[in-house]
Amino acid sequence: AQTVTQSQPEMSVQEAETVTLSCTYDTSESDYYLFWYKQPPSRQMILVIRQEAYKQQNATENRFSVNFQKAAKSFSLKISDSQLGDAAMYFCAYQFTSGTYKYIFGTGTRLKVLA
Amino acid sequence: KAGVTQTPRYLIKTRGQQVTLSCSPISGHRSVSWYQQTPGQGLQFLFEYFSETQRNKGNFPGRFSGRQFSNSRSEMNVSTLELGDSALYLCASSLTGFGTDTQYFGPGTRLTVL
């Protein structure tokens, strides 16, 4: 069965510094999508970044980038120049591309940004 | 464009009761997914509807059911509530439900079962 593991329940980063959140997953599929979602306190969850498994190039969105290691089944999120507004729960998610399209989420990493 | 809306935002029920939660997707979105979020388990997929048909289902008991209307609005029903059903229930909508489409989440309905 497909699983998504986020081994860091909580992390802290100093404002303007860089932080990396880890995510590993297990699947026998060759084609799938991976996502990082951000859930700020008492606010709606939003998509941070998306990676298609068939693409070798790592996705980037402004200060957010991923390190996608398909063979190692690793999908980490790097946040550069951290800002106070980055404080949130971050969820890693996997989506099947064949047959069903359901998502599997990790348990989340709470990121604190220190001023 | 209005975002995903969920009603009610908060609910308090007692064990054994049933509850219906509502989700209005972004206009034009045909896929609606439901998730249960708890502190220990994270987000767990309940089911997904597309064009009034349940296309995918997670590993939840039959007490959890849903439906989608012709205007893509969706409802989720939980019967015979248990204490463990206390959670934040999130719905998300997208154009097709495929990974190339962005899922937009609603604010959630906080259900407390006493």
Whole-angstrom Cα Rg for chain A: 14
For B16, which DSSP code?
T
Q: B59 and chain A: CB distance < 8 Å anywhere?
A: no
Low-confidence ranges of chain A (pLDDT < 50): none
CB atoms within 10 A of CB A43: 11
Give B101's pLDDT tier (boundaries 50, 70, 90). Answer: confident
Q: What is the mean pLDDT of residues B43-52?
A: 93
Q: What tokens appear for B24 in the block?
A: 């209005």
Q: What pLDDT score does A100 carry?
A: 60
Q: What pLDDT score does A101 carry?
A: 64
Q: What pLDDT score does B93 carry?
A: 94
Contact A105 B48 (CB under 8 A): no
Q: State the Cα–Cα distance between residues A50 and A39, nearest whole angstrom.
A: 15
Q: What pLDDT score does A98 carry?
A: 66
Pairing relation of β-strands B87-94 and B31-38? antiparallel
> What residue in A sits closest to B101 (Cα-Cα)?
A50
Q: What pLDDT score does A99 carry?
A: 57
> What residue in B sits closest to A53 (Cα-Cα)?
B99
End-to-end Cα, chain A, rounded Å? 41
Q: What is the mean pLDDT of residues B75-81?
A: 97
Which of A44, A101, A106 comes nearest B105 by C-beta? Answer: A44
Q: State the Cα–Cα distance between residues A57 and A79, nearest whole angstrom.
A: 17
Residues in B touching A52 (Cβ below 8 Å): 99-100
Q: What is the mean pLDDT of residues B36-45?
A: 89
Give B96's pLDDT tier (boundaries 50, 70, 90). Answer: confident
Q: C-alpha dihedral over A90, A1, A55, B91, to 10 degrees?
A: -40
Residues in B touching A110 (Cβ below 8 Å): none
**pLDDT higher than 80, residue B18:** yes
What are the residues whose beta carbons fall under 8 Å from the beta carbon of A115, sequence distance 6 or more?
Answer: A15, A84
End-to-end Cα, chain B, rounded Å? 37
Of A100-109, B21-30, B99-108, the range with the highest mean pLDDT is: B21-30
Count of A-B CB contacts under 8 Å: 58
Q: What is the mean pLDDT of residues B46-65?
A: 93
Percent of chain B with pLDDT over 70: 99
Q: What pLDDT score does A31 carry?
A: 87
Contact B99 A97 (CB under 8 A): yes
Q: B97 and chain A: CB distance < 8 Å anywhere?
A: yes
